[in-house]
Amino acid sequence: MSFYLWLAAGSAAGGFINGLAGFGTALFALGFWLQILPPTEAVSMVVIMSVVSGLQGVALVRQSIRENPVRLSRFLVPGIAGIPVGTKLLAIVSPLTIKLVVATFLISYGGFILARRGLPRSPRQWPVVDCCVGFVGGILGGAASLSGVVPTMWCTLQPWTKSEQRAVLQPFNVLILALAAAVFAASGYYSSQTAPLILIALPITLIFAQLGIWTFKRMTDDQFRQLLVGLMFVSGIILVAKEVLLN
């Protein structure tokens, strides 16, 4: 029973944050799933949840995507090249390392959101940096389904509207993670044991993604920031605390 409670909790947390912010499924789902599943299985499952729950967000910003497809391509093309690098890392790093990296992203990204109001914004375009950020996002997408973390940090430094930021982040995450899922499938990460778990996790993810969208529509910017900070710090601290206690 505890196994399925952890599975459901990760599905709910990942789906809710994706609906709320348009990214971050892995940041929250893996904090739960890495406690009960091998890293390859947990990551391969979370990319499915990320893609399915993220498709609804792509539809919301399709007009902004059409207005500037070149900007999206600067992130997406290098991101695709980074996926194989990430999948190689997944096969050689230890479970403890992946858990601590996830916890570090949770805590540091929460701190970034807290401080971002005081961060400078770039008045010009940086296409080379866009490509580098996309490549790193592809690596993290292939290694731990964390493709959106670095691109999100970079996009929030740009003088773009919320719609313009989401028009980069949402399709980037969906496409990178869809390709990562295909790589995982070709590598045999999806087994007969994984399919039933996906069937359990998927509806929970979708339900809580809708709840996240409903919540987002009713939140102010400050409430949104405070919620993200609280969720990320708490999840990261819990994950680190469990590793300290278990080791």
pTM: 0.78
**CA angle, corner 182, sides to 239 and 109, nearest 5?**
30
- Residue 207: what pLDDT? 92
- Residue 242: what pLDDT? 64
Nearest Cα residue to 185 out of 87, 95, 99: 87
- Residue 228: what pLDDT? 60
Tokens 């996906």 locate to 198
- Residue 244: what pLDDT? 65
C-alpha distances in angstroms, 182 versus 47, 130, 157, 187? 10, 25, 32, 9
- Residue 77: what pLDDT? 96
- Residue 157: what pLDDT? 77
C-alpha distances in angstroms, 107 versus 89, 102, 125, 237? 22, 9, 29, 7
Residue-level pLDDT, tens digit, the chain, 247 residues: 789 999 999 999 999 888 887 777 877 888 788 888 887 788 889 889 989 988 887 877 788 899 889 999 999 999 999 988 988 887 787 767 776 777 787 787 777 766 665 555 666 788 999 999 999 999 888 887 778 878 887 887 788 877 788 889 889 999 998 988 888 888 888 888 888 999 999 999 999 998 988 887 787 766 765 676 676 677 777 767 766 655 5
